[in-house]
């Protein structure tokens, strides 16, 4: 059977302090901001996809009558997202993170040859930069 899903379009993480999240994802990681809606969310372009950062206290509220009818959603606690980074750029990303005062929690050399680094955003979300080959993707 042919898969109907083509890939991940968006990934959502949650942060109560959107100002800190915006400064981190735009300023430290270098993602291009798409939009921000007050204290509800801030969205970023990330390669072929989009990273959504929601304030969990706001996304559980029902939409206003005149708003797009996106149902309430959200989660509690920290999440995880992995950014695809070429092997030649993982070290450069680690240097950039360290220069911004971000601790690298772990570096993993996977059995199939790929490599990952793990770190946290200001909300405590676990972030990873990894070569796609850790999943057998070219």
Beta carbons within 8 Å of 27's beta carbon, 6+ residues apart: 100
pLDDT tens column, 52-96: 999 999 988 877 776 667 787 888 889 999 999 999 999 999 999
Contact assessment for residue 40 and residue 59, using Cβ atoms and an 8 Å cutoff:
yes
Domain boundaries of the chain, sorted by first residue: 10-64+76-135
Structural fold of domain 10-64+76-135: 2,3-Dihydroxybiphenyl 1,2-Dioxygenase; domain 1 (3.10.180)
pLDDT tens column, 27-59: 999 999 999 999 999 999 999 999 999 999 998
Kindly report whether the global pTM for this prediction surpasses the value 0.85.
yes
End-to-end CA distance of the chain, in Å?
A: 22
Read off the pLDDT of each residue in 9-13 and give the average, rounded to a whole number: 94
Predicted pLDDT of residue 68: 65
Predicted pLDDT of residue 67: 66
């Amino acid at each position: 059977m042919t898969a109907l899903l083509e890939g991940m379009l968006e990934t959502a993480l949650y942060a109560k302090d959107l100002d800190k999240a915006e400064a981190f994802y735009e300023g430290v990681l270098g993602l291009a901001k798409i939009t921000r809606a007050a204290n509800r969310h801030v969205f970023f372009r990330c390669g072929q996809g989009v990273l959504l950062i929601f304030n969990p206290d706001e996304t559980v509220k029902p939409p206003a009558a005149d708003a797009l009818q996106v149902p309430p959603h959200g989660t509690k606690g920290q999440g995880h997202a992995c950014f695809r980074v070429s092997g030649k750029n993982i070290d450069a990303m680690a240097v950039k993170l360290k220069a911004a005062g971000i601790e690298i929690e772990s570096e993993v050399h996977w059995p199939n040859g790929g490599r990952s680094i793990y770190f946290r955003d200001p909300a405590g979300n676990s972030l990873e930069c990894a070569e796609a080959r850790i999943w057998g993707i070219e």
